[in-house]
């Protein structure tokens, strides 16, 4: 089996869980996943309190310079906090597979994924789908943790809903394979539609 980049996947065992690791781009994907029901139950436990809102305010301040035009908060969660914050300055729609599953039928200038990528089984197919929802010169903003070594002690692997893990090389390969221009902003990543 090959990775989206064309590299060969190797099976690897980390903390008793099986993963596929790409030899070329470093993409790491968990082999076994929760059922949709189990995943939704786990998401229902997310805390959406004032601390979470403060965190999302901080996220917005980081990504604000990269947001343009009409945006979409993709994978917004239960309370679509980020889109509410963005709507103070510009128009932002929201979508979530479990909580707000009706995708707006428009094209966007900016699509934002905050702590969503790690939950996606097929990041390449998702990016291809998102590109179809972008206006010309649109952009996709992704915030996710890059892989930390040693993987055995990285806390991000312990969340049962986290199944996809990237490093900088993975993000670059994803941009190359989808025809996007990749910009690393250290705290988040921007993919520009050419």
Q: What is the CATH number of the domain that holds 124?
A: 3.40.50.150
pLDDT band at 73 (very low <50, low <70, confident <90, very high): very high
In a domain? residue 2:
no
Question: Nearest to residue 140, comparing CAs of 107, 109, 96?
Answer: 109
Q: Does residue 146 belong to any structural domain of this protein?
A: yes
Give the span between the Cα atoms of 131 and 127, in whole angstroms: 6
pLDDT at 115: 96
Q: In this predicted model, what pLDDT tens digit does every residue of 142-171 receive, in sequence order?
A: 999 999 999 999 999 999 999 999 999 999
**Helix 123-131 and helix 168-178, axial crossing angle in degrees, nearest 10:** 50
Burial class from Cβ neighbours inside 10 Å (0-12, 13-18, 19+) for residue 82 reads: buried
Query: What is the pLDDT at residue 87?
Result: 98
Structural domain contains residue 78? yes
pLDDT score, position 193? 85
Residue whose C-alpha is closest to residue 165's, from 98, 117, 106: 117
Domain that holds residue 93: 34-193
Tell me the mean pLDDT in the region 72-80: 97
- Mean local confidence (pLDDT), 15-36: 96
Q: Please tell me the distance from the alpha carbon of residue 106 to that of residue 133, in angstroms, as a whole number.
A: 7
Q: Is residue 82 a part of any domain in this protein?
A: yes
Picking from 41, 47, 52, 129, the residue whose alpha carbon sits closest to that of residue 85 is 52
**Which H helix or E strand runs over 137?**
strand 134-143
Whether 116 is in a domain gets the answer yes
Inside any domain, residue 20:
no
Residue 44 backbone phi and psi in degrees, to 5 = -60, -20
With a CB cutoff of 8 Å and minimum separation 6, the contacts of 135 are 69, 107, 108, 109, 193
Q: Quick check: is 13 in a domain?
A: no
DSSP state of 31: S
Residues shown for the chain = 194
Q: What share of the chain is helix, strand, coil (3-state, %, to 5)?
A: 30, 30, 40
What average pLDDT does the segment 133-145 reach? 96
Q: How many domains does the chain have?
A: 1
Q: Would 130 be classed as within a structural domain?
A: yes
């Amino acid at each position: 089996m090959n990775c989206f980049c064309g590299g060969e996947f190797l099976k690897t065992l980390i903390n008793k869980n099986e993963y596929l690791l790409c030899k070329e781009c470093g993409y790491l994907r968990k082999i076994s996943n929760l059922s949709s029901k189990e995943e939704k139950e786990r998401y229902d436990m997310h805390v959406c309190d004032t601390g979470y809102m403060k965190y999302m305010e901080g996220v917005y301040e980081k990504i604000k310079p990269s947001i343009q035009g009409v945006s979409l908060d993709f994978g917004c969660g239960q309370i679509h906090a980020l889109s509410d914050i963005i709507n103070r300055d510009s128009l932002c729609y929201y979508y979530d597979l479990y909580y707000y599953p009706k995708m707006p039928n428009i094209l966007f200038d900016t699509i934002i994924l905050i702590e969503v990528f790690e939950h996606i089984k097929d990041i390449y197919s998702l990016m291809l789908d998102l590109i179809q929802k972008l206006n010309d010169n649109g952009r996709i903003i992704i915030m996710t943790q890059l892989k930390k070594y040693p993987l055995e002690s990285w806390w991000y692997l312990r969340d049962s809903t986290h199944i996809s893990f990237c490093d900088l090389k993975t993000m670059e390969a994803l941009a190359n394979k989808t025809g996007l221009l990749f910009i690393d902003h250290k705290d988040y990543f921007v993919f520009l539609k050419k």
